[in-house]
Amino acid sequence: MILGISGSPRPNGVTAHAVRKVLAACDGATEYISLAGKHIGGCISCLACTKDNICAVNDDFPAIAEKMVQAEAIIFGIPNYYDLPNGLSHCLLERCFCFRHQSAFLLKDKPAVILSTGYAADEENSQVLKVVENFIVKNNMKTVSKFLIGAYSQCYSCKYGRTCVDGNIFKDNGIVDEVTPEMLPAKFNEQPDAIAKCENAAQLLNKMLS
Ligand SMILES: Cc1cc2nc3c(=O)[nH]c(=O)nc-3n(C[C@H](O)[C@H](O)[C@H](O)COP(=O)(O)O)c2cc1C
């Protein structure tokens, strides 16, 4: 089974679409988990997991952890918040500390796809991709593909964006009388390059797992 995890708190946003697009192009069984609405706190460093590699904190993480361990490969969909993984995704990554004790490394050798959604487009210098890749390395997983997907900017729907000189509408268009459809950031399905990246990642996974 190939597991796709969308770390966005928005259940049907760009991250969800991108992760599902990778899964749709994967051979064999897949499962999809959205972290939207899930309660996952950060690691509390209780060290209970050091004896059995099972997280003892009772929230939505342990059920996801089981799926992660069962999966043959994992797709991580991580929104960019302040050039870092968003809090929900970061909590999930932290909690994977439980897999590493006494040389267990329960995620060892699993192929991983990392996609990060956001407004920023500098793939080479993406801090989000770097942070998640560091997590992959520390869990002895293997990165198969890592890339950015263009995403929604809150400024275009916050009601005050048109007159806000600190926001993305001003940055992209200057002062405008109204926000017209062609100014809006592209939705996932309007980005052929993003779709191609997702399908390409799935093909790499298929090859690796065949
Ligand atoms: C609190 C917050 C901070 C954000 N910071 C950034 C940022 O620094 N860079 C960026 O490119 N996008 C930033 N964004 C935009 C998100 O990356 C974008 O809304 C998200 O990837 C959309 O994914 P979704 O549609 O799956 O929710 C931010 C959004 C929020 C809510």
The strand pair at 142-150 and 84-85 is best described as unpaired
Distance from the CA of 150 to the center of ligand 1, in angstroms?
10
> What pLDDT sits at residue 159?
87
Is-contact 78 135, C-beta < 8 A?
A: no
Provide the pLDDT for residue 16.
Answer: 98
C-alpha–C-alpha distance, residues 34 and 204, integer Å: 23
pLDDT of residue 25: 98
190: left (phi over 0), alpha (psi -120 to 50) or beta: alpha
The residue ranges of every structural domain in the chain are 2-152+187-209, 154-186
In this prediction, residue 157 carries a pLDDT of 87
CA of 43 to the centre of ligand 1 (A): 23
Tell me if 10 CB under 6 Å of ligand 1: yes
194 lines ligand 1 (CB under 6 A): no
Residues 155, 75: Cα–Cα separation, whole Å: 28
Can you give the pLDDT of all 210 residues of the chain as single tens digits? 999 999 999 999 999 999 999 999 999 999 999 999 999 999 999 999 999 999 999 999 999 999 999 999 999 999 999 999 999 999 999 999 999 999 999 999 999 999 999 998 999 999 999 999 999 999 999 999 999 999 988 899 888 988 899 999 999 999 999 899 889 889 999 999 999 999 999 999 999 999
> Which atom of ligand 1 is nearest the CA belonging to 149?
21
Amino acid at 93: L
What angle (nearest 5°) sits at the alpha carbon of residue 88, between those of residues 110 and 120?
85
Identify the pLDDT of residue 24: 98
Name the closest-CA residue to atom 16, ligand 1: 118
Q: Where are the beta strands (DSSP E) in the chain?
A: 2-6, 30-34, 73-81, 84-85, 111-118, 142-150
Q: Are 74 and 3 in contact (CB under 8 A)?
A: yes
What pLDDT, on the 0 to 100 scale, is given for residue 153? 87
The reported pLDDT for the residue numbered 161 is 84
Give the pLDDT of residue 42: 98
pLDDT at 162 (0 to 100): 86
CATH number of 2-152+187-209: 3.40.50.360
Q: Indicate the top mutation candidate among 81, 83, 84, 131 to test ligand 1's pocket, ranked by most ligand atoms within 8 A of CB.
A: 81
